[in-house]
Structure 1
Amino acid sequence: MIDELRLWIRSHPRTVDTVLAVVLCAVTLVSTTMERPPHIHQWPPLPAVTVAVLSSGVLLARRRRPRLTAIATTACGAALGAMGPTLGYQFGSTLVGTTMAALASLAWRTDQRTTGRYTAAGALTLLTASAVWAPDGTRFQSEQVGLVGFVLLAAAVADSTRSRRDHLAAVEARAELAERTREDEARHRVGAERMRIARELHDVVAHHITLAHAQAATADHLLSTHPDQAHDAMRQLTPTLVSALNELRATVGLLRHSGHDDSPEPAPGLARLPALLASFERAGLSVHLTSDGVAQPLPPGLDLTAYRIVQEALTNVTKHAGTSTVSVHLAYADRLLTLTVSDNGPRRTSTNAVAGYGLIGMRERVQAAGGRLRAQPKERHGFEVVAELPLDASHPHPTGLPLIDHEDRP
């Protein structure tokens, strides 16, 4: 019932204002015309009726002009108080109902500081009017003190209600922001996980499909002229496809891993680098591996990143370089591992090198590890990929520079 009444009040503001103005005007008129003094011949007293009607009419503007309404109704209340001794009625709280309503509306629609100023000024004005024009020379009576108390109480109650409304609105806004932030964070995590899955699947599929394509193309080329060599190439195709299926199965199993049991197979790392290079050599690519410094055990995430970078760089050489030789160099420093994959094939632009998502995936992996990546054509011929990975995750790249991408340089 109460909720329905509140809903009706909110949906009919003009009707509510009109009813309130009429009721307060009636209360004021009754208070000024209840008794007719012997010396008053014109009854009801027209000046008091005029001021009461004017005060109630001004109250209709309390939503649009709350400050002006408070000033006007306070002036009308003071005028009624000044006419009281002459017209034979007592100046009390029933004569300033419109003032109390105006101050309450002001407190509801403005801040606490504005409410305090206007309420203090209004109460002081009414108290002064009741004291200056008090009958029989008396200055202060209990009715006058009660008048001021009612005015202050109306503004205080409205201000307290507004403060509670603002507090609830702030709480709801914070809750909505927190919910929206959680949703954004969840979407961000889902997006990051999708990118991670896409990188893993791309690296696995692209590597093995490229090798299988190279071996199949070699077998097709040799089939008519050198059938024995073609047969050898076809024999290498089956292990390549089996390896592709096994690694794809391991990758999918790792992505499905819930964390409550042992992972089906550990993620690949640099320990598998000889097997990786051997697979490329079976496809006709001669890989020369060198290293500097003392090899150090790598964290699993960094170990996987290093392995995938070498794998993708060699895949790009097989697809785009047009050469049969490539060098892979590992340089271990105090806090830095530098991977360099370089070929001497025909000069190719960045467009040739990034026809797919290979370099994009490498950049994302290196950036996630806090390192740097340089992928660019060499000065005369060939292409070079250099990845610098910090060995300590708490210490990013020593230069403090963000990931650098030179792939668009000529």
Structure 2
Amino acid sequence: MEEERAARPAWGRWQRGDGGRGLPWRSTVLIAVIVMVGTGFAARNQPGRETLDVLGRALLLLGAAPLLFRHRRPVPVVFGVAAVTLGYLAAGYPYGPVFGLVGVACFAAVVHGHRTAAWALGLLWAGHLLLSHWLYRWLPPAVDGPAPWGQELPAAAFAVAVLAASETVRVRREQRAQLRADRAAAERRRADEERLRIARELHDVLAHSISVINVQAGAGLALLDSDPEQARTALKTIKAASKEALGEVRQVLDTLRTPGDAPRAPAPGLDRLPELVEQAAATGLAVTVATTGPRTALPPGADLAAFRIVQEALTNVVRHSGSRTAAVRIAYGSGRLELTVDDEGPATGTEAGGSGNGLAGMRERAAALGGGIEAGARPDGGFRVHASLPLRTEETS
């Protein structure tokens, strides 16, 4: 969009005006007609003023013409219209809707954020004071006398009303613009959060399943000739892991195709922990699970986060640890869930083909719930991942 706007030719910008707004032909013509007709009627009740001749009507049109550009160049327009209006009054022509020209120009300028336009009204009022109370001696009409001071009060009230109305509209426009900007920022933030969530889901699903597939493929190749039956078992594990990965990836993609709809399958939780243990066993990793505290129903978000954290921790053991055992401890506490995954190590130090985002994804999941992750080497050479997740159980919510 920005490139298209920059590439728009100059005549196109002239035709539409600033901000993509076209020149206000209709409203300007309407204002000019009102001023011309209204001044003609007003002149009937002002016999002491000059007759509204061709020059007077030309000055009225000259004051209305700049309003075409009140959205493009509001400050020059309002000062220009004020100068023409003063010239019209100095020539002795009748009072009337001519002041509305300055009011419209000032309104447009202030609404666009140019408060200096208020000076145009002030200068017009000061000029009118000079014309009607001092310079009238040397200006037409010849029989004109000083204007009554009482007429200055309506003029001042008119100026204050124009400024108050334009300032009110300006503030409301800025508030609406701010609301639109806030909504757009919120939409972008939600989109970013959704992208991060989907990225975490895909990473966790694919990292775990592909790690299982990689280990089993290596075992199958090694045993293909010496132990065909064991190689067949490895292929079956590969088939099962790939089928599960495809199903979960399809579920994530379904949420992209139909945003806002409920997922077709329930999100995984700690109730599927035995499946993780079985998949890990297929890779040669023996996993023990210990649970302490009264088990409570977990909110779906916390249940999914807990499952993915344990899944990623076990995946990292398969990838990066020389240990063939891992221990998972789940502690249900008062409003908290503590997860600990330990392996005996040592780290293999070999390239496992991961993306390096596993720990970052776990931390993001925990932080989204208000919890935290601690991960690091143990003094005995093993590795520990500890997650603390605050909970609001169904009984206490």
- The TM-score bracket by the shorter chain reads 0.5 to 0.7
- Native 8 Å contact 2:319 2:352 kept in 1: no
Q: Which residue of 14, 19, 23 maps to 2:88?
A: 23
C-alpha distance 257-294 of structure 1, shift in aligned 2 (>3 A): farther
Number of equivalent positions: 302
Matches within 5 A, 1:80-159: 91-93=145-147, 147-159=148-160
Matches within 5 A, 1:335-354: 335-347=335-347
Matches within 5 A, 1:5-404: 5=32, 6=64, 8-9=66-67, 10=70, 13=77, 16-27=81-92, 74=129, 79=134, 91-93=145-147, 147-253=148-254, 263-347=263-347, 355-392=355-392
* Distance across 1 between alignment mates of 2:355 and 2:156: 72
Per-residue CA shift, 1:282-318, capped at 9, x if unaligned? 1111112112112222122211111111011111111
> What amino acid is aligned across from residue 182 of structure 1 in structure 2?
R
Query: TM-score, structure 2 length as denominator?
Result: 0.66
* Distance across 1 between alignment mates of 2:118 and 2:244: 77
* Distance across 2 between alignment mates of 1:338 and 1:278: 22
Which runs of 5 or more residues in structure 1 are unaligned?
29-61, 94-146, 395-410
Per-residue CA shift, 1:339-385, capped at 9, x if unaligned? 00111212589x99984221121111111112111112222412211
Q: Larger deviation: 195-204 or 270-279? A: 195-204
> What amino acid is aligned across from residue 331 of structure 1 in structure 2?
A
CA-CA distance at 1:238 after TM superposition: 2.0
Per-residue CA shift, 1:161-192, capped at 9, x if unaligned? 12111111112111111112111111211221
SS at match of 2:221: helix
> What amino acid is aligned across from residue 179 of structure 1 in structure 2?
R
SS at match of 1:157: helix
Per-residue CA shift, 1:41-92, capped at 9, x if unaligned? xxxxxxxxxxxxxxxxxxxxx98787688668756765569x89xxx97742
* Distance across 2 between alignment mates of 1:63 and 1:167: 14
CA-CA distance at 1:330 after TM superposition: 0.7
- Native 8 Å contact 2:326 2:343 kept in 1: yes
* Distance across 1 between alignment mates of 2:367 and 2:195: 17
* Distance across 1 between alignment mates of 2:240 and 2:387: 30
- Native 8 Å contact 1:80 1:91 kept in 2: no
> What amino acid is aligned across from residue 168 of structure 2 in structure 1?
H
SS at match of 1:342: strand
Per-residue CA shift, 1:111-143, capped at 9, x if unaligned? xxxxxxxxxxxxxxxxxxxxxxxxxxxxxxxxx
> What amino acid is aligned across from residue 181 of structure 1 in structure 2?
D
CA-CA distance at 1:25 after TM superposition: 2.6
CA-CA distance at 1:156 after TM superposition: 0.9
CA-CA distance at 1:275 after TM superposition: 1.4
C-alpha distance 157-241 of structure 1, shift in aligned 2 (>3 A): same
SS at match of 1:191: helix
C-alpha distance 79-248 of structure 1, shift in aligned 2 (>3 A): closer
* Distance across 2 between alignment mates of 1:63 and 1:163: 10
Which runs of 5 or more residues in structure 2 are unaligned?
1-25, 33-63, 94-116
- Native 8 Å contact 1:348 1:377 kept in 2: no
CA-CA distance at 1:234 after TM superposition: 2.7
- Native 8 Å contact 2:133 2:146 kept in 1: no
C-alpha distance 161-215 of structure 1, shift in aligned 2 (>3 A): same
SS at match of 1:27: coil
SS at match of 1:381: coil
- Native 8 Å contact 1:329 1:340 kept in 2: yes
CA-CA distance at 1:232 after TM superposition: 3.0
SS at match of 1:326: strand
* Distance across 2 between alignment mates of 1:274 and 1:7: 81
> What amino acid is aligned across from residue 359 of structure 2 in structure 1?
L
- Native 8 Å contact 1:347 1:380 kept in 2: no
Identical amino acids, percent of aligned pairs = 35
SS at match of 2:92: helix
Q: Larger deviation: 323-332 or 208-217? A: 323-332
The root-mean-square deviation of aligned C-alpha atoms, in Å, is 3.5
* Distance across 1 between alignment mates of 2:118 and 2:284: 85
* Distance across 1 between alignment mates of 2:88 and 2:258: 73
* Distance across 2 between alignment mates of 1:63 and 1:197: 54
Per-residue CA shift, 1:222-259, capped at 9, x if unaligned? 33554443343233222222222233334444665677
> What amino acid is aligned across from residue 196 of structure 1 in structure 2?
R
C-alpha distance 234-367 of structure 1, shift in aligned 2 (>3 A): same
C-alpha distance 7-195 of structure 1, shift in aligned 2 (>3 A): farther
* Distance across 2 between alignment mates of 1:160 and 1:357: 62
C-alpha distance 177-258 of structure 1, shift in aligned 2 (>3 A): closer
